[in-house]
């Protein structure tokens, strides 16, 4: 059961992360077409090769229903496979395996996976205040009958920070908490960002002391352990083995995946410190026939430092409770013995909403296809990628391998 490695990432495009205030504004449809064009050029494939589309549904600007149909029509393509994914930060990883699965089933040969994340221009009479209002509650629904509207919001439980903070506090009570180890995650990733021309924090190095001196947001999380939202967007082309043979770059074959959704609020987790990636990664490794020891680089979804720690442990890279020691004992930079988030991670590359998850996928592709410029790993064939949505609510794992 699972993939046979007959589908691969063959091309990608990603907007440079920018501050919302200064980033270009484009309709989401316009971004989809632009990103698709750039990703096809990267792959060396043609528009007519595309016969599948996976797109993010939530926050799509020009439509809230029939998003794939609108986007396919706008692009000028017909597809045999159309899908919307609604898994927050896990969406990118989830799009890739869905595309690979559809290709292996023979539904299609080349799938555009795409998440636009630049702001759309405001309509002539549109009040810019609506967006600030909509963002007030983070990922929490305010709809009548939504459990979180009734049982979370009145107590001030909202947004992402406090949920992750409570997970970290629980972890600290169970296993201990080494603030400097947690800060080192951000610091090593910041080092990597110095070697990516598009990273938002390129040119700004960081020390453990600076992380720990930064403002506490919710105990124990400092502001420099929390991802910065940016404008951006990304597209990835997944294609069949046959098409991949025609591609310009070395393909990254999708040989394993897993997905697990455990809850919306971590308060209702069976165990708050055991995250859904445990199940997802186990399945992904088994499918690929690999173990964590076979992995040459890990691109771990990093909305917070605590996300990285728990994902490293639960994905099997280090036993539960030993992650902080592991982080201190290893050099996590691209020059080190455990290359982690070699583009800087979203913490230092920037998080373009749900497209932020693509930064990890695309970095894996860049490493495998030998396109990682100044931070290229040698002999990098096996990469683990994770995605995380909500508050550790839903996680996905991918194994990508050079052919």
Residue 53 touching another protein (CB under 8 A): no
User: How many other CB atoms are found less than 10 A from the CB of residue 153?
Assistant: 16
User: Quick one: 136 or 246, whose CB is closer to another protein?
Assistant: 136
Identify the bridge partners of residue 14 per DSSP, sorted by sequence position: 234
For residues 14 and 16, give the distance between their C-alpha atoms in angstroms, rounded to a whole number: 6
CA–centroid distance for 389 within its chain:
9
Residue 43 parent element (H or E):
helix 28-43
Residue 64 touching another protein (CB under 8 A): no
Site mask for another protein (CB under 8 A), range 269-288, x = bound: ---x----------------
User: Quick one: 69 or 173, whose CB is closer to another protein?
Assistant: 173
The Cα angle at residue 362 between residues 361 and 367, in degrees rounded to 5: 105
Question: Which tokens go with 8?
Answer: 């691969």
Applying CB under 8 A, among 64, 66, 76, 151 the residue interacting with another protein is: 151
For residues 252 and 7, give the distance between their C-alpha atoms in angstroms, rounded to a whole number: 9
Spatial contact of 301 and 363, defined as CB atoms under 8 Å apart = no
Number of residues that bind another protein (CB under 8 A): 37
**What's the farthest any 2 CA atoms get from each other in the chain?**
56
Residues of span 171-210 touching another protein by CB under 8 A? 173
Applying CB under 8 A, among 124, 145, 203, 374 the residue interacting with another protein is: 145
Applying CB under 8 A, among 77, 107, 153, 261 the residue interacting with another protein is: 153
User: Quick one: 122 or 216, whose CB is closer to another protein?
Assistant: 216
Residue 229 touching another protein (CB under 8 A): no
Residue 159 touching another protein (CB under 8 A): yes
Applying CB under 8 A, among 215, 337, 378, 379 the residue interacting with another protein is: 215
Q: Which stretch binds another protein (CB under 8 A): 64-72, 149-157, 349-357, 362-370?
A: 149-157
For residues 212 and 191, give the distance between their C-alpha atoms in angstroms, rounded to a whole number: 17
Handedness of CA 371, 376, 379, 384 (dihedral sign): negative
Residue 303 touching another protein (CB under 8 A): no
Q: Which stretch binds another protein (CB under 8 A): 73-81, 92-100, 110-118, 167-175?
A: 167-175
For residues 208 and 377, give the distance between their C-alpha atoms in angstroms, rounded to a whole number: 25
Identify the bridge partners of residue 397 per DSSP, sorted by sequence position: 258, 386
Residue 382 touching another protein (CB under 8 A): no
Pairing of strands 7-14, 252-261: antiparallel
Q: Which residues bind another protein (CB under 8 A)?
A: 129, 132-133, 136-137, 142, 144-145, 147, 149-159, 161-162, 165-167, 169-170, 173, 215-219, 265, 267-268, 272
């Amino acid at each position: 059961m699972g993939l046979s490695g007959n589908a691969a990432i063959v091309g990608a495009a990603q907007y440079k992360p920018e501050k919302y205030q200064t980033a270009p504004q484009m309709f989401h449809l316009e971004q989809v077409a632009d990103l698709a064009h750039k990703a096809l050029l990267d792959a060396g494939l043609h528009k007519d090769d595309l016969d599948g589309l996976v797109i993010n549904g939530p926050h799509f600007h020009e439509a809230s229903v029939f998003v794939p149909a609108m986007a396919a029509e706008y692009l000028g393509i017909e597809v045999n496979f159309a899908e919307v994914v609604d898994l927050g930060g896990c969406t990118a990883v989830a799009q890739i395996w869905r595309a690979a699965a559809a290709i292996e089933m023979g539904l299609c040969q080349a799938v555009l996976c795409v998440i636009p994340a630049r702001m759309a221009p405001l309509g002539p009479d549109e009040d810019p205040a609506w967006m600030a209002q909509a963002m007030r509650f983070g990922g929490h629904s305010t709809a009548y009958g939504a459990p979180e509207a009734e049982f979370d919001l009145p107590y001030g439980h909202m947004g992402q920070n406090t949920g992750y903070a409570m997970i970290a506090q629980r972890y600290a009570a169970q296993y201990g908490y080494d603030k400097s180890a947690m800060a080192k995650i951000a610091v090593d990733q910041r080092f990597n960002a110095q070697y990516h021309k598009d990273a938002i924090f390129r040119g700004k190095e960081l020390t453990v002391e600076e992380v720990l001196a930064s403002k506490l947001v919710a105990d124990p999380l400092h502001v420099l352990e929390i991802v910065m939202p940016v404008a951006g967007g990304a597209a990835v082309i997944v294609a069949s083995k046959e098409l991949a043979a025609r591609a310009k770059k070395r393909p990254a074959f999708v040989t394993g995946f897993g997905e697990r959704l455990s809850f919306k609020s971590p308060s209702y987790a069976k165990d708050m410190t055991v995250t859904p990636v445990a199940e997802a990664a186990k399945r992904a490794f088994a499918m690929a026939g690999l173990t964590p020891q076979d992995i040459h680089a890990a691109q771990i979804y990093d909305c917070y430092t605590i996300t990285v720690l728990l994902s490293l442990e639960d994905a099997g890279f280090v036993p539960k409770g030993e992650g902080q020691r592991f982080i201190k004992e290893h050099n996590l930079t691209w020059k080190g013995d455990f290359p982690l988030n070699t583009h800087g991670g979203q913490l230092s590359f920037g998080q373009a909403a749900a497209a932020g998850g693509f930064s990890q996928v695309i970095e894996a592709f860049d490493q495998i296809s030998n396109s990682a410029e100044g931070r290229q790993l040698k002999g990098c064939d096996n990469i683990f990628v994770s995605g995380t949505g909500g508050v550790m609510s839903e996680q996905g794992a991918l194994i990508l391998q050079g052919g």
